[in-house]
């Protein structure tokens, strides 16, 4: 899996958030985008996910040198981000069942295994609206980690997680498949201390 960004720029009204972003992102490793609040990390991740159009430049997805059409990009990507909400009226089991109707989980990942990996076996029949913020965050991350997606995008992955949650996050990252591509937006070194490719978005101002 490969994402190539060429001269990508994004402008909101009259303000350029970033310009001239050139990146080649390849599976089997991770990339982290850092920068102060409001610098454009989330916007860049949304663009790379194909959720937002670029104002200028080109973005391409390919797999084994075969181009993937933009209409099919969404099938390649799983995202966990603060601005993406869970369906609060559903129980955890209902949410996972609903989720897998449009984004299947990895092979052999049954609801039992997933809820165990989430450390939430006891809460399977509880509605999400009654989960603590840390429990919700683990669910969001789990949907990204355990779905069958070549690209995993995590924006502020450990917000609301305690020490145990941080250790859990690090463990799940280690268990990602070697053919997945991991993109992170972060301001906290502990979220990306394993990541060999760190870009400061301020370089693209
Ligand atoms: N829909 C929008 N319309 C106008 N401006 C926007 C919009 N979305 C984001 N912005 C602006 O783009 C800039 C970058 O925002 P973004 O959320 O990408 O930053 P960030 O680095 O992820 O910040 P944080 O660390 O606070 O999450 C900010 O100035 C923000 O106000």
Task: Please state the atom number of ligand 1 nearest to the C-alpha of residue 43.
Answer: 18
Give the pLDDT confidence score for residue 160 in this predicted structure.
Answer: 94
β-strands 2-12, 15-26 pairing? antiparallel
Q: Is ipTM beyond 0.90?
A: yes
Would the CB of 158 count as within 6 Å of ligand 1? no
Give the pLDDT confidence score for residue 174 in this predicted structure.
Answer: 95
Cα–Cα distance measured from residue 126 to residue 67, given in angstroms and rounded to the nearest whole number: 42
Give the pLDDT confidence score for residue 53 in this predicted structure.
Answer: 96
pLDDT tens digits, one per residue of 61-109: 999 999 999 999 999 999 999 999 999 999 999 999 999 999 999 999 9
How much is the average pLDDT of 29-38? Answer: 97
156 within 8 A of 82, measured Cβ to Cβ: yes
Give the pLDDT confidence score for residue 161 in this predicted structure.
Answer: 97
pTM above 0.90, yes or no: yes
**Domains of the chain from N-terminus onward:** 2-204 (3.40.50.300)
pLDDT tens digits, one per residue of 178-195: 999 999 999 999 999 999
Q: How far is CA 147 from CA 11, 77, 100, 126, 151, in A?
A: 32, 9, 8, 22, 10
Ligand 1, atom 7, lies closest to the CA of 12
**Position 24 confidence tier, pLDDT thresholds 50, 70, 90:** very high
Give the pLDDT confidence score for residue 191 in this predicted structure.
Answer: 96
Would the CB of 157 count as within 6 Å of ligand 1? no
Query: What are 20's two structure tokens?
Result: 């001239």
Would the CB of 138 count as within 6 Å of ligand 1? no
Q: What angle do CA 42, 167, 134 make, to 5 degrees?
A: 60
Q: What is the mean pLDDT of the chain?
A: 97
b/e per residue 108-140 (b: at least 16 CB within 10 A): ebeeeebbebbebeebbeeebeebeebbbbbbb
Q: Which residues pair with 59 in a beta bridge?
A: 5
Ligand 1 center to 12 CA (angstroms): 9
Cα–Cα distance measured from residue 172 to residue 175, given in angstroms and rounded to the nearest whole number: 5
């Amino acid at each position: 899996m490969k994402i190539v960004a060429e001269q990508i720029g994004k402008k909101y009204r009259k303000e350029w958030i970033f310009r001239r972003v050139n990146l080649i992102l390849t599976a089997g490793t991770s990339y982290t985008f850092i920068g102060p609040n409001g610098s454009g990390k989330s916007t860049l991740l949304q663009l790379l996910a194909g959720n937002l159009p670029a104002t200028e430049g080109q973005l391409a997805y390919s797999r084994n040198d075969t181009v993937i059409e933009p209409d099919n990009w969404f099938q390649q990507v799983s995202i966990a981000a603060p601005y993406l909400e869970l369906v609060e009226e559903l129980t955890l089991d209902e949410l996972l069942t609903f989720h897998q109707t449009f984004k299947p989980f990895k092979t052999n990942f049954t609801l039992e295994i997933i809820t165990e990996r989430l450390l939430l076996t006891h809460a399977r029949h509880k509605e999400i609206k009654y989960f603590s913020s840390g429990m919700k965050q683990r669910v969001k991350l789990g949907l990204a980690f355990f779905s069958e997606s070549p690209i995993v995008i995590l924006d502020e992955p450990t917000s609301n997680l305690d020490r145990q949650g941080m250790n859990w996050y690090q463990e799940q990252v280690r268990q990602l498949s070697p053919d997945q591509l991991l993109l992170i937006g972060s301001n906290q070194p502990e979220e990306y201390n394993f990541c060999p490719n760190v870009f400061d978005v301020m370089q693209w101002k």
